[in-house]
């Protein structure tokens, strides 16, 4: 499951590929081509066949896009990937632009002449994105939909994945898929809509109580679907992915079609068609009788039902025991010359030993010293560092169990930590505690509370360039919308939503710090003196100690100390019975009151 990444795209190879793309551009008389990270499904992860951005640029991050013009090219990445992009990309070919602060339209208008043609694949860009770009270009540059030009020049492009679709048992799903289909169809009827186009495989997986292996660490089957208001579902999928047992599970309400028939069939839909412009491809923008509204499954999937929450608790208890064993192992071996790859593999061994690991939920981020400052660092044989005493180790990892998905980050001191790192870690911890303790009125979104996680850092003149939290699926995507905690998270938080709580701080060339627990939203408990206002709060799912060697207790308030002592007491009470005697003894010290 774990594998370190070795880029095979050398600078010379990248130059050859860009030249080939420019020849393809010239052949159809266009002056530029957009290369997104996304595939038709607009998910965070793509199969090898659709890794076009990585092929043309060598950038391996999970978000970003490129614009290749006749004589210039730019890679656009957000604050998480600035360091990584500069390390991976040939800077003689690509300019690195920080998105969204620096806009694609600025690069295009600066690099293309009046009346130039900018080509794009309409199946890989959303309706909303193309509409916004067209307005920003203001008629100066023409946007031209074309067949994908990367596919024309990528001679050894891998085949599409062929994983089998699998049944997700009712005990974990919590609700029969036929009832789910009826419920969402009823929502369409209430809205006066006849059909809903579904392009996100995780939504289809949740609706049909299925899972898969096409994306490896994200357990889905790549497919498309159309849900009808009479509670029928047309599923567009490679028939080879369906076993007789799967046909029986799906039942008569689900009709199977070849995925190649999707584009033709949606054009024939009669009645009002619901399309999510945030994720639907531009190729669907001109469907007759289309209305734009979010996929009705997305919010239902985000609000976990009691069975899904119970599964999440069980998964985190199991994962907490594996993490405790891992943290004990690091405490005993961290100064013996271990390297990042050894550490990442050892963590997976402990999770595998649970007997219930299906996969890791994303490539483990195991960054020591300066590598920890790369927010989404992925170790490879060239970057692999040996741990050194006096350094900081950041380990961000997660697991996929059939009953739940986990995601946890712990920052560890290897030997005596530098004072600067202790101070920064304590400020990050204060932000994490602030979110953990928060009570907030119903109706608020993640954007309304993001600043609370940053206050201690801001007061010290520090900050971080990623969101504070993302949604998490139920044996689905580890990064799940629409909920989140960030300046751009606009969806109201509601009971059952699972989110990460992960402030951080990164000093380039020195160290990275992040502390991450998963939480879920619940009705806030009653407190003395409160009025009748409807309030929500968070319940912490993650169970693992936080490194005491990186905490400056003098900076914590009494309330913060009490929260951490209470949390560690819960960790000890719930995890200690699940681990070996030697880990139990270590855990007792790691969870001792401050």
* 276, 300, 324 - which closes a domain: 300
Q: Sort 35 into a burial class: Cβ within 10 Å, 0-12 / 13-18 / 19+.
A: buried
Element at 20 (helix H, strand E): helix 11-27
* 271, 300, 329 - which closes a domain: 300
Same domain, 289 and 350: no
Which of 466, 500, 157 is CA-nearest to residue 361? 500
Q: What pLDDT shows up at residue 410? A: 98
Q: Kindly state the tokens that stand for 60.
A: 């391996």
Is pTM beyond 0.75? Reply is yes
Q: What pLDDT shows up at residue 3? A: 45
Q: Does any domain span residue 385?
A: yes
Three-state SS at 98: strand
Q: What pLDDT shows up at residue 387? A: 95
Residue pair 575/584 in contact (Cβ under 8 Å)? The answer is no
* 153, 174, 192 - which closes a domain: 153
Phi, psi of 368 (to 5 degrees): -100, 145
Q: Sort 123 into a burial class: Cβ within 10 Å, 0-12 / 13-18 / 19+.
A: middle
d(CA 197, CA 279): 10
Which of 367, 534, 546 is CA-nearest to residue 441? 534
Same domain, 57 and 108: yes
Same domain, 338 and 484: yes
Number of H helices, E strands in the chain: 18, 28
Same domain, 276 and 357: no
Same domain, 456 and 563: yes
Q: What pLDDT shows up at residue 10? A: 60
Strands 504-507 and 511-514: antiparallel
d(CA 575, CA 324): 8
d(CA 506, CA 359): 28
Q: What pLDDT shows up at residue 11? A: 55
Q: How many domains does the chain have?
A: 3
Same domain, 110 and 236: no
Same domain, 197 and 319: no
Give me the half-sphere count of Cα atoms (radius 13 Å) on the Cβ side of residue 466: 23
d(CA 118, CA 116): 7
For each successive 10 residues of the chain (594 residues), what is the average pLDDT? 48 88 98 97 94 94 94 93 89 94 95 96 96 94 97 96 97 98 98 98 98 96 98 97 98 97 96 96 94 97 98 98 98 94 98 98 96 91 94 98 98 97 98 98 98 98 97 98 96 98 97 98 92 95 98 98 98 98 98 97
Distance of CA 256 to the CA centre of its chain: 29
Give me the half-sphere count of Cα atoms (radius 13 Å) on the Cβ side of residue 40: 18
Same domain, 494 and 352: yes
d(CA 533, CA 515): 31
Q: What pLDDT shows up at residue 557? A: 98
Same domain, 464 and 337: yes
Q: Does any domain span residue 256?
A: yes
Residue pair 35/65 in contact (Cβ under 8 Å)? The answer is yes
Residues near 423 by beta carbon (within 8 Å), at least 6 away in sequence: 460, 552, 555
d(CA 586, CA 323): 13
Residue 471, strand partner residues: 480, 499
Same domain, 22 and 80: yes
Residue pair 301/205 in contact (Cβ under 8 Å)? The answer is no
Q: Sort 1 into a burial class: Cβ within 10 Å, 0-12 / 13-18 / 19+.
A: middle
CATH number at 424 reads 3.90.230.10
Does the bond joining 482 to the residue before it have cis omega, within 30 degrees of 0? yes
Same domain, 126 and 185: no
Give me the half-sphere count of Cα atoms (radius 13 Å) on the Cβ side of residue 297: 31
Phi, psi of 151 (to 5 degrees): -60, -30
Which of 181, 397, 220, 209 is CA-nearest to residue 307? 209
Residue pair 348/379 in contact (Cβ under 8 Å)? The answer is no
d(CA 169, CA 208): 11
Distance of CA 377 to the CA centre of its chain: 14
Q: Does any domain span residue 373?
A: yes
Q: Does any domain span residue 594?
A: no
CATH number at 59 reads 3.40.350.10
Q: What pLDDT shows up at residue 81? A: 84
Q: Kindly state the tokens that stand for 570.
A: 């819960």
Q: What pLDDT shows up at residue 530? A: 85
- pLDDT digits over 25-59, tens only? 999 999 999 999 999 999 989 999 999 999 999 99
- pLDDT digits over 229-280, tens only? 999 999 999 999 999 999 999 999 999 999 999 999 999 999 999 999 999 9
In 68-105, which positions are buried (b, 16+ CB within 10 angstroms) versus exposed (e)?
bbeeebbbbbbbbbbbbbebbbbeebbebbebeeeebb
Q: What pLDDT shows up at residue 546? A: 98
Q: Helical H runs in 138-238?
A: 149-153, 170-173, 177-190, 201-208
Residues near 168 by beta carbon (within 8 Å), at least 6 away in sequence: 205, 209, 210, 211, 402, 475
Q: What pLDDT shows up at residue 4? A: 42
DSSP state of 386: B
Does the bond joining 561 to the residue before it have cis omega, within 30 degrees of 0? no
Distance of CA 190 to the CA centre of its chain: 32
d(CA 390, CA 415): 5
Q: Does any domain span residue 1?
A: no
User: What domain range is 102 assigned to?
Assistant: 11-153
Give me the half-sphere count of Cα atoms (radius 13 Å) on the Cβ side of residue 575: 33
Q: Does any domain span residue 2?
A: no
Q: What pLDDT shows up at residue 1? A: 57
At which residue do the structure tokens 């920064």 appear? 424
Element at 504 (helix H, strand E): strand 504-507
Q: Does any domain span residue 381?
A: yes
Same domain, 259 and 385: no
Q: Does any domain span residue 389?
A: yes
């Amino acid at each position: 499951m774990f594998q370190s990444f070795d880029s095979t795209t050398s600078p010379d190879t990248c130059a050859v590929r860009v030249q080939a793309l420019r020849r393809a551009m010239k052949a159809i008389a266009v002056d530029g081509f957009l290369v997104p990270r996304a595939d038709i499904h607009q998910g965070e992860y793509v199969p090898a066949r659709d890794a076009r951005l990585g092929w043309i640029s060598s950038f391996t991050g999970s978000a970003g896009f490129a614009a290749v013009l006749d004589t210039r090219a730019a890679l656009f990445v957000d604050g998480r990937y600035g360091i990584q992009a500069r390390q991976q990309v040939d800077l003689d070919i690509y300019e690195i632009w920080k998105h969204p602060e620096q806009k694609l339209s600025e690069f295009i208008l600066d690099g293309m002449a009046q009346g130039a043609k900018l080509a794009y694949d309409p199946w890989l860009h959303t309706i909303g994105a193309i509409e916004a770009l067209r307005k920003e270009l203001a008629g100066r540059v023409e946007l031209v939909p074309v067949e994908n030009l990367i596919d024309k020049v990528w001679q050894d492009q891998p085949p599409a994945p062929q994983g089998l679709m699998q049944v997700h048992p009712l005990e974990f799903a919590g609700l029969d898929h036929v009832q789910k289909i009826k419920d969402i169809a009823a929502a369409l009827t209430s809205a006066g809509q006849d059909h809903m186009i579904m392009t996100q495989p995780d939504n289809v997986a949740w609706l049909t109580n299925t899972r898969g292996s096409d994306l490896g660490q994200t357990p889905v089957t790549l497919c498309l679907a159309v849900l009808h208001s009479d509670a029928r579902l047309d599923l567009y999928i490679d028939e080879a992915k369906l076993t007789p047992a799967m046909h029986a599970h799906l039942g008569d309400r689900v009709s199977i079609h070849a995925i190649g028939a999707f584009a033709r069939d949606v054009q024939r839909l009669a009645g009002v068609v619901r399309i999510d412009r945030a994720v639907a491809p531009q190729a669907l923008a001109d469907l007759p009788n289309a209305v734009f509204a979010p996929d009705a499954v997305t919010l239902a999937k985000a609000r976990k039902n009691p069975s899904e929450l119970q599964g999440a608790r069980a998964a985190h208890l199991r994962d907490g025991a594996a993490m405790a064993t891992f943290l004990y192992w690091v405490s005993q071996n961290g100064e013996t010359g271990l390297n990042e790859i050894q550490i990442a593999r050892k963590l997976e061994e402990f999770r595998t030993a649970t007997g219930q690991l299906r996969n890791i939920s994303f490539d483990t981020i195991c960054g020591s010293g300066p590598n920890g400052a790369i927010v989404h660092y992925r170790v490879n044989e060239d970057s692999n560092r040996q741990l050194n005493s006096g350094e900081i180790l950041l380990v961000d990892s997660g697991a996929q169990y059939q009953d739940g998905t986990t995601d946890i980050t712990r920052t560890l001191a290897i030997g005596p930590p530098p004072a600067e790192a202790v101070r920064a870690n304590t400020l990050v911890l204060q932000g994490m505690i602030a979110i953990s303790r928060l009570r907030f009125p119903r109706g608020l979104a993640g954007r309304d509370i993001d600043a609370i996680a940053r206050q201690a850092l801001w007061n010290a003149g520090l900050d971080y360039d990623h969101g504070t939290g993302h949604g998490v699926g139920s044996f689905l995507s580890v990064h799940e919308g629409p909920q989140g905690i960030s300046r751009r998270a606009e969806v109201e938080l509601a009971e059952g939503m699972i989110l990460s709580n992960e402030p951080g701080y990164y000093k380039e060339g020195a160290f990275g710090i992040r502390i991450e627990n998963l939480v879920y939203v619940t009705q806030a408990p009653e407190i003395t003196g409160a009025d009748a206002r409807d309030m929500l709060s968070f319940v912490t799912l993650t169970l693992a100690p936080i490194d005491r060697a990186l905490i400056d207790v003098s900076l914590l308030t009494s309330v913060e100390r009490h929260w951490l002592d209470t949390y560690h007491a819960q960790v000890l009470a719930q995890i200690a019975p699940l681990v070996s005697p030697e880990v139990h003894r270590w855990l007792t010290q790691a969870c001792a009151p401050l």
